Amino acid sequence: MTLTIPQILLITGSPMSVSFLIARLNNWGCEIHFATSCKEANAFVSNRRFDLVLSEFRLSDGGPYPLANLLIGSNATLVYSYPVETGCWWLPAVKKGQSCWASLAMRPSEFIGFLDDILKEIRFRPAANSDESSEKLFKVAAG
């Protein structure tokens, strides 16, 4: 069984501020890409498939809604971090391509469990082209 490598986009003005998150994603064997602005993130998402996008709620060049709209209909999950006095809340915006703006916000401790669950699901998901390859192999064998 081949494991899927989770494709992650981290959007933050300062990658050093999410070093704990980077370490956790590396432990899961993720391929991590970075964007520092809405414009850069939109370009990434328009040209590449991501399983999970984690972003600051507000970046210097824009708000959260355009990015969420780009991910609707994909298989991606998008979660925003929103700073509060003693840390941040994590706000789900898109889950597996479906808008979920009405979902409850998560405290950091809740988010870690959510993150582990979603990464486990991604890792054990059949590769996108494995069904296609099997179908081609079947057609060749069937003649």
Domains (ranges, CATH) in the chain? 7-142 (3.40.50)
Predicted TM-score (pTM) of this structure:
0.84
Phi-psi region of 72 (alpha: psi -120 to 50; beta: other; left: phi over 0): beta
pLDDT digits (tens, 9 = 90+) for 38-96: 999 999 999 999 999 999 988 878 878 889 999 999 999 999 999 898 889 999 999 99
Q: Supply φ then ψ for residue 135, to 5 degrees.
A: -65, -45
pLDDT digits (tens, 9 = 90+) for 106-143: 999 999 999 999 999 999 887 655 444 334 333 433 44
Q: Is the separation of the CB atoms in 59 and 11 below 8 Å?
A: yes
Q: What is the mean pLDDT of the chain?
A: 86
d(CA 100, CA 110): 17
